[in-house]
């Protein structure tokens, strides 16, 4: 998908792209020329916690955990509170997926940022 559409449309140089992948951020050299790249294997985390299936993992809480770690705008306690309030099933598995992603997200700074 990342090769099929322009994921940087509207993103300013130096902005961050969070990608669900097993790859390391430095494998996105083209994006790293202008953007910060963060990667997380949200699919693998979801599967390990029994969220969805191997062919259709449910990655939302893993992505939220990675987002919380990468941007620092919300903490894990806020993520847990949201899961408790909004997730009707597998609350503990969803929270554990968020915690795992929080600790596993990897990022790389842009190699060259031009401010336009």
Q: pLDDT, tens digit, for every residue of 80-104? A: 999 999 999 999 999 999 999 999 9
Q: What's the pTM value of the predicted model, to 2 decimals?
A: 0.90
pLDDT of residue 112: 65
Asked: is 16-108 a CATH 3.40.920.10 domain? The reply is yes
- Residue 113: what pLDDT? 55
Pairing between β-strand 36-40 and β-strand 16-20 as defined by DSSP bridges: parallel
Domain-wise residue ranges, the chain: 16-108
Q: Reduce the DSSP state of residue 83 to 3 states and report it.
A: helix
Placement of tokens 């997200």 in the chain: 105
Q: How far apart are CA 40 and CA 115, in angstroms?
A: 27
Tell me what pLDDT residue 114 has.
52
CA proximity to 31, closest of 45, 42, 21:
21
What integer is the mean pLDDT of 53-65? 97
């Amino acid at each position: 998908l990342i090769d099929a559409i322009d994921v940087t449309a509207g993103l300013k140089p130096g902005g961050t792209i969070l990608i669900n992948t097993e790859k390391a951020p430095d494998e996105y050299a083209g994006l790293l020329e202008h953007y910060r790249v963060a990667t997380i294997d949200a699919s693998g985390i979801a599967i390990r916690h029994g969220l969805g299936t191997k062919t259709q993992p449910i990655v939302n809480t893993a992505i939220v955990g990675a987002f919380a770690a990468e941007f620092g705008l919300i903490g894990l306690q806020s993520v847990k509170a949201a899961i408790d309030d909004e997730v009707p099933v597998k609350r503990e598995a969803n929270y554990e997926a968020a915690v795992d992603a929080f600790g596993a997200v990897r990022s790389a700074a842009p190699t060259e940022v031009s401010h336009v």
